[in-house]
Amino acid sequence: MKFFRKMDELELHLSLNAIRVSWFFTVLALAAWGIWGYVRTGRFTAPMCLLLFQYLLYLLALQVGKWRTGDPDGARSLLLYILLLVIFLLAFGALLARMGL
């Protein structure tokens, strides 16, 4: 018995549209929450960090896709985004440690 089957073009298109809409909602919600937290506390809060982390992961996944298709600029950009991702993870970890989480 197969649990997964390949999607046809229509199912794939509908699925990608649903993912795009849900991603856009998440970005708006995190941005509003992060801005609200910044206005109230005067510091960057966890929602803003999550928003930045999500965007870095998006860019990293985009560069991995370019690199896998043979784009020469994709490999250079991939290294830059991996470096930025590591720096951000260290900063996010320090923020969580400072908050006592």
Q: What is the pLDDT along the chain (101 residues), one digit of tens a residue?
A: 466 777 788 888 888 889 889 989 999 999 999 999 889 988 878 888 888 888 878 877 887 777 778 777 766 777 777 787 788 778 878 877 877 76
CB neighbour list of residue 89: distance below 8 Å, 6 or more residues apart: 53
- 83 Ramachandran zone, left/alpha/beta (phi>0; psi -120 to 50): alpha
Residue 85 CB coordination number (10 Å) = 15
Amino acid 15 reads: S
pLDDT at 2: 62
Give the global pTM. 0.60
Q: How many CA atoms lie within 13 A of 62 on its CB side?
A: 10
DSSP annotation string for 23-45:
HHHHHHHHHHHHHHHHHHHSS--
- 72 Ramachandran zone, left/alpha/beta (phi>0; psi -120 to 50): alpha
pLDDT at 62: 80
Question: Structure tokens of 86?
Answer: 């590591």
pLDDT at 68: 79
| Distance (Å, whole) CA 64 – CA 70 | 10
